[in-house]
């Protein structure tokens, strides 16, 4: 058999019916992750057709997008403030009960952002196909899974059949070599990659992140990288599983155990791209030259090193419109720009090592007057771990707002929003117009840069505080 890529191996193993010129492939789905926002219509489809969920044992439900992060609304007697959010939460409770699905409800100790809890539980495993009604399902590709977001209608299809109609994407090797310098993180790496290939550069492809830099990343860092694959337009992003992957998974509640563990690891080892396999496209990145990055516009590809100025694109009306929205001008330096809100969290950077990085900067320091620093852990488990490690105490002593887990200000569906015209330094993954609130201006950065900027009250270089 000819040399094959990681993506090709996982795709082929799940192809129930191969695609033809006229028809897409039928792809079997191993794990369907669901949440309260993109499922109500899909459950209605099932009810209308009189169908059950075909594989409840391969379906996992949590609440994250619209759940409150204020402790009194989660664990106290204060009702959920937003009616729409309360309705979505109640609907998922009813739907999960009616269809016999496992649900991590509001007060469940395992609840959290869908892309954080599944790896945390060991439910996401190498070689799987994983889907969810959320774009950033690409996160799970960090484990060597083929993972991608689907629409509400497709959520209904997976409920009913445990399969999806899909055209096979092409493969794209992102080769990253060299050592990241101190203060340069996985977030800066993926922002640099998106800046290099553009927000449409990955369209039609599954990216495979490869090379010595990727091999040296922790699983948390690999998840940060894969999470933003969709921001380069890619269908998914993947990293071949290795000893770092296996060490992360071993002993987690839903990972194989005993003899099954050894069998699984030997299968997982065979997933790596074969020597000599050919990709449809590729790019080479020198990680040793990268800097901390910051976005200046309204998509993640509008990004520069922290010390750089905003470029000019004469005659580009879309570019000019983005700068008008942000209140910026070509030639402006990014360092020193004012900050109103800082958000540390999301499925990109809401994991324990992200909070550890923020705590490292914030320890013994104070948030600048007038700046609101909101820190939201990716899961309740991460919240407990951050409290046990002393990070939460550091955050509170610095003047930060420490909350319950959820998507929160990543998209503001739960009421955690940024006011119009205000500048938000955010560790999330999207800086689209209005993403964090109507008129809000979002700048994407790493947790280190976010924490340093919260202390300075302006965009600051974290390397000065390390
Ligand atoms: S944190 Fe943001 S990107 Fe991630 S699942 Fe929630 S809304 Fe989507």
Q: Give me 385's structure tokens.
A: 């771990």
Residue among 134, 434, 442 to mutate when testing ligand 1 (max atoms within 8 A of CB)? 134
Question: Pairing between strand 31-34 and 59-62?
Answer: parallel
Cα separation, 315 vs 313, in Å, equals 6
For the beta sheet containing 205-210, the strands, ordered from the edge strand earlier in sequence to the opposite edge, are 236-238, 205-210, 170-177, 281-286
Residue among 37, 62, 131, 136 to mutate when testing ligand 1 (max atoms within 8 A of CB)? 136
Q: Give me 35's structure tokens.
A: 């949440």
CA of 348 to the centre of ligand 1 (A): 8
Helix (H) or strand (E) holding 237: strand 236-238
* Residues in contact with 11: Cβ distance below 8 Å, sequence separation at least 6, in sequence order: 27, 146, 168
Ligand 1 nearest atom to the CA of residue 410, by list position:
2
Ligand 1 nearest atom to the CA of residue 430, by list position:
3
Helix (H) or strand (E) holding 294: strand 293-295
Rg of the chain's alpha carbons, rounded to an integer? 21
Ligand 1 nearest atom to the CA of residue 411, by list position:
7
Q: For the chain, report the end-to-end CA distance as a whole number of angstroms.
A: 50
Q: Which of 422, 427, 419, 423 is nearest to 375 (CA)?
A: 427
Residue 177: alpha-carbon gap to chain centroid: 23
CA of 347 to the centre of ligand 1 (A): 6
27: β partners: 15, 164
Helix (H) or strand (E) holding 408: none
Task: Pick the residue whose CA is nearest to atom 4 on ligand 1.
Answer: 347
Angle of helix 447-456 versus helix 352-362 axis, rounded to 10: 30
Residue among 34, 63, 407 to mutate when testing ligand 1 (max atoms within 8 A of CB)? 407
Pocket, ligand 1, Cβ cutoff 6 A: 64-65, 113-115, 134, 136, 346-347, 407, 410-411, 428-429
Residue 183: alpha-carbon gap to chain centroid: 21
Q: What are the residue ranges in the chain where pLDDT is below 50?
A: none
CA of 407 to the centre of ligand 1 (A): 5
Q: Give me 278's structure tokens.
A: 């050919």
Task: Pick the residue whose CA is nearest to atom 2 on ligand 1.
Answer: 410
Q: Give me 403's structure tokens.
A: 């909350």
Cα separation, 450 vs 345, in Å, equals 10
Cα separation, 266 vs 5, in Å, equals 17
For residue 27, the number of C-alpha atoms closer than 13 Å in the C-beta half-sphere is 27
Ligand 1 nearest atom to the CA of residue 345, by list position:
1
pTM: 0.98
Q: Which of 410, 353, 68 is nearest to 228 (CA)?
A: 410
Task: Pick the residue whose CA is nearest to atom 7 on ligand 1.
Answer: 407
Q: Write down the residue that tokens 């030639």 correspond to.
A: 331
Ligand 1 nearest atom to the CA of residue 114, by list position:
5
CA of 17 to the centre of ligand 1 (A): 32
Q: What is the pLDDT of residue 1?
A: 67
300 phi, psi to nearest 5 deg:
-70, -10
CA of 108 to the centre of ligand 1 (A): 19
pLDDT digits (tens, 9 = 90+) for 344-373: 999 999 999 999 999 999 999 999 999 999
> If you average pLDDT over every residue of the chain, what do you get?
98
Q: What is the DSSP letter of 231?
A: G
CA of 334 to the centre of ligand 1 (A): 26
Task: Pick the residue whose CA is nearest to atom 6 on ligand 1.
Answer: 407
CA of 136 to the centre of ligand 1 (A): 7
Task: Pick the residue whose CA is nearest to atom 3 on ligand 1.
Answer: 136
Residue among 33, 38, 65 to mutate when testing ligand 1 (max atoms within 8 A of CB)? 65
Residue 380: alpha-carbon gap to chain centroid: 17
Contact 244, 161 (CB under 8 A): no
CA–CA distances in Å: residue 428 to residues 115, 141, 273, 340, 343: 13, 18, 30, 16, 8
Please name the residue ranges forming H helices in 200-316: 212-215, 219-227, 243-249, 259-269
Q: Write down the residue that tokens 């091999």 correspond to.
A: 215
């Amino acid at each position: 058999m000819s040399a094959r890529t990681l993506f090709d191996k996982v795709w082929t193993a799940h192809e129930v019916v191969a695609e033809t010129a006229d028809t897409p492939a039928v792809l079997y789905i191993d794990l369907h992750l669901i949440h309260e926002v993109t499922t109500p219509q899909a459950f209605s489809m099932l009810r209308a057709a009189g169908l059950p969920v075909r594989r409840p044992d391969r379906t996992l439900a949590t609440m994250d997008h619209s759940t409150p992060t204020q402790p009194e609304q989660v664990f106290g007697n204060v009702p959920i403030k937003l009616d729409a959010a309360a309705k979505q939460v109640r609907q998922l409770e009813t739907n999960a009960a009616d269809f016999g699905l496992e649900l991590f409800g509001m007060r469940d100790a395992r609840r959290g952002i869908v892309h954080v809890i599944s790896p945390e539980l060991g439910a996401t495993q190498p070689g799987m196909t994983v889907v969810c009604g959320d774009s950033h399902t690409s996160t799970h590709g960090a484990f060597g899974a083929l993972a991608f977001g689907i629409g509400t209608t497709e959520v209904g299809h997976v409920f009913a059949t445990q399969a999806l109609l899909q055209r096979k994407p092409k493969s794209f090797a992102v080769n990253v070599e060299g050592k990241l310098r101190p203060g340069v993180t996985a977030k800066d790496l993926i922002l640099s990659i998106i800046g290099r290939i553009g927000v449409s550069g990955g369209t039609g492809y599954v990216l495979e992140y490869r090379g010595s830099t990727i091999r040296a990343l922790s699983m948390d860092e690999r998840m940060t990288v894969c999470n933003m694959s969709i921001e380069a337009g890619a269908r998914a992003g993947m990293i071949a599983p290795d000893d770092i992957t296996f060490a992360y998974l071993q002993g987690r509640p839903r990972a194989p155990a005993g003899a099954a563990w050894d069998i699984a690891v030997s299968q997982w080892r065979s997933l790596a791209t074969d020597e000599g396999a050919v990709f449809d496209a590729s790019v080479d990145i020198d990680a040793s030259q990268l800097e901390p990055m910051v976005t200046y516009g309204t998509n993640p590809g509008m990004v520069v090193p922290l010390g750089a100025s905003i470029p000019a694109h004469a005659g580009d009306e879309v570019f000019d419109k983005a700068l008008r929205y942000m209140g910026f001008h070509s030639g402006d330096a990014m360092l020193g720009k004012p900050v109103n809100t800082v958000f540390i969290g999301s499925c990109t950077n809401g994991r324990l090592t992200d909070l550890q990085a923020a705590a490292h900067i914030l320890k013994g320091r104070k948030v600048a007057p007038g700046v609101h620093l909101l820190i939201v852990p990716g899961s309740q488990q991460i919240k407990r771990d951050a409290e046990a490690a002393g990070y939460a105490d550091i955050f509170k002593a610095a003047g930060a707002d420490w909350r319950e887990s959820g998507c929160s200000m990543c998209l503001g569906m739960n009421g955690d929003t940024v006011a119009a015209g205000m500048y938000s330094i955010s560790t999330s993954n999207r800086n689209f117009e209005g993403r964090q609130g109507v008129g809000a201006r979002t700048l994407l950065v790493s947790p280190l840069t976010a924490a340093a900027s919260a202390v300075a009250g302006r965009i600051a270089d974290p390397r000065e505080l390390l």
